[in-house]
Amino acid sequence: MPRLSPSAHVADRKLVKGLNEGDEAALAALYDEYGERIHDYVLSMSGDEKVAADIVHDTFIDAARRAPRMRDHLQLGSWLYGAARRRCVRRGRVKILFWDRSAEFSDVPFLSRGEPEGPVGDWPPSDELHGLLRAGLARLEPVDQEVSLLAFRHGLRPSRLGAALGLSPRRAALRVRRARTELETALQKEVDRANRACAVSGASDASGATASSGEREDARSTAVAVLAARPPTRGDREEPLDPPPPERPIERTLPRLLRRRAEAVPVDPATERHAAGCPACVRRGRVTAAALLGRAPAPMLPAALRHRVMHTATDPELAGYRADIAARGGALTPAGLPSQPDVPSAFTRRWLVTGGVMAAALATAIVAVLMMSPGLGAWTPFRPAPQPDVTHERPPDAQGRGGDPTGGPGGGGGGTPGHPGQPPVVPQTDDRTKNPSHSPRPPSSQAPAGPGTLVVNPAKVELYGTKTAQVTLAAKSGPVTWTAVTSTNQLALSETRGDMRPDGTTTLTLTLRTAIIGLPGKGSLTFTDSEGARHTVNVVWGTTIL
């Protein structure tokens, strides 16, 4: 099977220096050092050999132009993995990592150039290993599959892995631990499932073979015990029907990781006894998640790809093509590494945090304003119902009688609004010969009507959930001339003065003027008629938004 190039390791600093100087030998050495790794990673992520070859070609052409811009030249490998990953994400990656099912598992790990660590015969056949690997990866999220691939197959440390994925070393280390735990749990479930199937198959074969009646009875009892010991399942994933144990407080920090650890794999005594004596189950139990990923089949690196990369990088007529490849590689981070489309940049994260803080502060201010608002419990989005009519009575006369403005029996009759309880004053004329006694004209029903009484409705206006209200003026027992003033500029009336005929009415619109967010407050409206009588309407309002 193909293995990595046996060329001696070249320091990343020396390679970056050669790329910066435009040395063709540096690009060739870079391809020999990382070509097979990047091709294996891209093919696992894309699942298409032609697409993988194109991405590897563009990655090295882009690296020849922009890799020297990174700050830390020791992260050259992370730069290549990050550039290839961005192109894989843009083109679309597979849900489950891809490997050729017809290829055999390797005797040595992918990155090892030495001798096999152990005999290959101790492992199950390649077909069964492919099934375990695919079934185990299917239980993981795509991001955990990718982290497992880079950490356990390509050997990236958390710092290099974080640089390739656009994460901090701490977050990368957390993802590696989580991916290892979930992959081991998934693989153990698949191994247990295969062991149970092997136990049932072995029991069936033993019961159908030619043997004594005692042996048949023992085999039949074993098969029944195995089937009875199998936990109830849901679908193909064989999850226990019992609810999972409650989470402990520490599990809130890493819920997925610690929940996977807390889940106990169902114990099947009959299956364990079978697995202890079955050679196939013993070989299956020796498989580990990291070793399974490391020994997965390595793809064959196309021989013509190296010539294609060197031709594109050195042909003077392809300068525009090289610039287009670099432009499609996306922007670089402040550290000079390729930015990832599914990971926000540091600038974006900073603005997201700032926007979140501002939104939280605004929400806190709105809540505080609403809590301070008076009458919030009676808030209604509709106009409040009008209050009962309020007519201000005239003060009593000098003799202590409370006169009726209309001059009724209780007020002495014939009174005017300005002087209740007294007869109206008749204006004198210049023709004294016609009325020598100068006596006042006796009251009669045909006397001209005097000023009427102003009636204001309602006496109190509440603006909760609205910014407008209606105020009604009425002229009772005569014409009325009125004026109105407000106590604050936040209150505005549609009219501030006017005249009304006897028994006439006027409807005014009261408007509350506020900014985007208005605080609770109160004010008043003062109406004055032609006789100087004042009528006050109290106005209160709550919090307003927009």
Task: Measure CA of the first residue to CA of the last residue in the chain; give whole Å.
Answer: 71
Lowest mean pLDDT: which of 186-190, 422-426, 465-469? 422-426
Q: Which fold has domain 453-545?
A: Immunoglobulin-like (2.60.40)
Q: What is the average pLDDT across 52-75?
A: 93
Residue 85 in this model has a pLDDT that exceeds 90: yes
pLDDT per residue as tens digits for the range 360-377? 888 888 877 776 655 444
Contacts of 425 (CB under 8 A, 6+ apart): 416, 440
Q: What is the pTM of this model?
A: 0.57
How distant, in Å, are the alpha carbons of 47, 94, 101, 504 from that of 88?
Answer: 10, 9, 21, 81
Written as one string, the DSSP assignment of 352-372 is HHHHHHHHHHHHHHHHHHHHH
The CB density around residue 368, as the number of other CB atoms within 10 Å, is 10
Lowest mean pLDDT: which of 81-85, 226-230, 371-375? 226-230
The pLDDT confidence band at residue 533, using thresholds 50, 70 and 90, is confident
pLDDT higher at 244 or 484: 484
The CB density around residue 544, as the number of other CB atoms within 10 Å, is 22
CA distance 480 to 262: 86
Closest to 491 (Cα-Cα) out of 466, 457, 467, 474: 467
10 Å CB burial of residue 347 (0-12, 13-18, 19+) is exposed
Q: What is the average pLDDT across 382-402?
A: 48
pLDDT per residue as tens digits for the range 169-198? 999 999 999 999 999 999 999 888 888 888
Q: What is the average pLDDT across 86-106?
A: 91
pLDDT per residue as tens digits for the range 510-529? 999 887 777 888 999 999 98
pLDDT higher at 445 or 312: 312
Residue 242 in this model has a pLDDT that exceeds 50: no
The two three-digit tokens of residue 419, written as one number: 């002087």
CA distance 498 to 483: 7
DSSP state of 288: -
* Percent residues over pLDDT 70 in the chain: 68
> pLDDT value at position 343?
80
The two three-digit tokens of residue 380, written as one number: 């209604």
Q: Across the beta sheet with 491-493, what order do the strands follow?
A: 453-457, 468-476, 505-512, 491-493
> pLDDT value at position 61?
95
